[in-house]
Structure 1
Amino acid sequence: MEKEKSKWIVVAFLVSFVLLFVKFYSYSLTNSTAILTDALESIVNVVAAGFASYSIYLSSRPKDDNHPYGHGKIEFFSAGVEGTLIILAGIFIIFQAINNFFDPRELDQLPIGIALIGISGLINGMLGFVLQKKGVELKSLTIEASGKHLMTDAITSLVLILGVAIIYFTSLYYLDSVISILFSLYIIYSGYALVRRSVGGLMDEADPSSVEAIVGLLNNTRKPNWIDIHNLRVQQYGSDRHIDLHLTLPYYLDLNQVHDEVQGVEKVLEEDWPGMMEVFIHADPCIPENCCHYCQLTACPVRKAPITVKIEWTVANMSKNQKHYHDSV
């Protein structure tokens, strides 16, 4: 998996490096600030792809004494750096565009510039689509972020072509600065989205989609002995995942039986995840006077009350640090 991640990041780096020269050549032909906007974003693409390549390498390293949870969080940091670079590029372009607005320049060879930007945008769009798909498949935020960035670049290139075409046919050269500012605002917003997601990952912000997937999996594989699961927490480290949960079991089980039930939950979770999965389970004994009415173990030899309800496991009640009987009494 790590080799495939590295392969796609290298492809992104090489393509971005080539397109960087294509876009700056287009700017040198046209003197268009709008095209310069696209070219400067390509610098961000190259720097980000280089940093992403290093983050993929680092995240693949095994755990060590200083990093007991591995190195996967570097991918969140990588996405944050990429987002920050995008924001800085957008701010720089706005200042450049404002300056050119008050001193508009005549633009040259716009048809050639439009063609070059169009080809670049098409290549970025196709590569970005593939990288987003691979990022989700390989559970890599770095690859997914690179793909989204390239898709954003492709969309801005398409709109840029339309804007430059309007300038070409109307000779309203001040529109070059207006288009640049609009593009910059969009670029800054996309950079903010990457930084926001990066900070969320570094702060171990809950990922609702991950928790929902795990809750659904546990519901589908639920065993009668698994009386209750609560205090469920999920942390993502690159393509690796760490899960903590509390499992309530019949109090009369011996240590070997408890171990087997814990392993059963671990196996369900580990087999469903393609990357590295680490599961920590704390086993709790049931409390008959509180648990019997929702315990689904029909052959329980020490039952003190009939089954009156089956509590559905949801994200809300499995995430709480308390047994489910609090929700049902």
Structure 2
Amino acid sequence: MEQKNAKYVLDADLITLRSVVSVVDEGSFSDAAKRVGRSQSAVSLQIAKLEERMHIRLFERTSRSVTLTPAGEVFTAYARRILALADEAYAAVSSPVIKNPLRIGFAEYLVPHHLYKLLTRFKRLHPNASVELTLGVGNSLVRDLREGLLDIVVAGPEGEKGVLLMEEALVWVGPHDEHIELGEGRLELILMQPPCSYRKVAFEALAGYERPWNLSLSANSIQGTQSAVAAGLGVSVIPKSAVSKDLKILTHGLPALPRTSIQAFSNAADSHPLIEPFIAFLKEELAEVGVG
């Protein structure tokens, strides 16, 4: 291809880029077509024309699968960045000025390593929004919600039905750099203070456990729990998303634990315009976190 025409090769519209990304995310042209609201043939033609203009293949197609070529992987990464910038540009000029801040209560033990990244991405989509963040224990936050002090709470199951955002595993954890003998001696526990629901889960799991155990320390925060476990004071029960680098998951010699859920709670009477957008945003973002 002549150099003078090279700058025009990538004059692809956003619709085509969304089609490419949708094929990657959905794993097939038919599902991608449903996602973008076009026919399968239209999506196939879009991408075929793009491949022709660039003189590269983005996808390897078989009767059973669609996979990215090496060039396709590189192109898709750029396509995602372009689409994200386009969405931000639209949000910057179309997002209304919202006078009242969105008051969010977030249980600190949920996805702690991702929380501020999540809020950063939400702010990019809603640049005119103001957020007030409160971290705490789930049921205390729900109480504040019912008293009108918060607009939305993101927490584990708190005895009320919320909007399910994701499910994840509860795990036993110990210090990363130390070997814990789980077959003999007394098991030392590090748990969050009541009324943390994971404290109750740990006690219930240990009800039929033959090995003696002792509640060594009750911490008032997830950071305190993590630090105490990392220092070797004992083991704990926390969500998988809260496992930091200085902790390790213990998989043998301890009773099984149930899965837990992350839910969004809000007041039906609360009319803050960002409640529904924030819940929809969290559903999508937490699905990508994929903590299992």
TM-score by length of 2: 0.23
More helix per residue: 1 or 2?
1
Q: TM-score, normalised by structure 1?
A: 0.21
Higher strand share: 2
